[in-house]
């Protein structure tokens, strides 16, 4: 993985730790049992594992067709999958594979979120472009993820970011 991306991801935890301390939410010196440091160590290890997974995915992308995996993942989120989610009392959410790709695009994208005039909406949103697809996060009551074909702006899939029960 690009060193710039690794540094960007790992520095988020340092910023988080420093923010907690500076806002007075935690006092690292008063952490007698070491639980706070242990928490940040676990968080860092989790991020390092994710960085390794991202690196493997990038290597996989060099030898494989991203369109094929997206097509397969979109087919996995078919009407039967949506019905199963609704039947269990949940809004449709991404499966683990799709969630990984969505997180990869939004967390490791070299570019910042972009503006696509034809995809504007009335709610706060961010859009990332990756390999011929737009990934849009719309922040309404909950976050909705929309995946569009970049060429014709056709909506391919719309999911809730997290597995949540109906309100």
Alpha-carbon distance of 80 to 72, in angstroms, equals 15
Query: What is the tens place of the pLDDT at every residue in 104-113?
Result: 998 876 667 7
Whether 56 shows a pLDDT value over 60: the answer reads yes
∠ at Cα 97 (91, 99), nearest 5°? 50
Query: What is the tens place of the pLDDT at every residue in 94-144?
Result: 999 999 999 999 887 666 777 787 877 878 788 888 999 989 888 888 888
Token representation of residue 64: 């494989």
Residue 127: what pLDDT? 86
Taking the domains of the chain in order of start, what are their residue ranges?
1-64, 65-167
∠ at Cα 105 (144, 40), nearest 5°? 90
Residue 166 binned pLDDT confidence (cut-offs 50, 70, 90)? low
* Largest interatomic CA distance in the chain: 58
Whether 167 shows a pLDDT value over 60: the answer reads no
How is residue 115 annotated by DSSP?
-
Q: Which residues contact 115 (CB under 8 A, 6 or more apart)?
A: 127
pTM (2 decimals)?
0.73
3-state secondary structure of 125: strand
Residue 3: what pLDDT? 52
Q: Which residues contact 78 (CB under 8 A, 6 or more apart)?
A: none
């Amino acid at each position: 993985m690009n060193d710039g991306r690794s540094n960007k991801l790992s520095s988020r935890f340092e910023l988080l730790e420093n923010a907690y301390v500076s806002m007075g939410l935690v006092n690292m010196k008063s952490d007698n049992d070491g639980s706070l440091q242990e928490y940040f160590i676990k968080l860092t290890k989790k991020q390092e594992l994710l960085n390794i997974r991202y690196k493997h995915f990038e290597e996989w992308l060099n030898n494989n067709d991203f369109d094929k995996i997206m097509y397969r993942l979109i087919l996995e989120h078919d009407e039967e999958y949506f019905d199963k989610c609704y039947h269990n009392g949940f809004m449709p959410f991404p499966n683990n594979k799709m969630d990984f790709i969505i997180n990869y695009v939004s967390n490791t994208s070299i570019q910042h979120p972009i503006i696509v005039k034809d995809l504007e909406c009335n709610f706060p949103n961010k859009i990332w472009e990756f390999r011929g697809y737009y990934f849009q996060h719309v922040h309404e009551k909950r976050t909705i993820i929309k995946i569009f074909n970049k060429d014709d702006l056709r909506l391919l899939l719309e999911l809730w970011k997290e597995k949540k029960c109906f309100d």
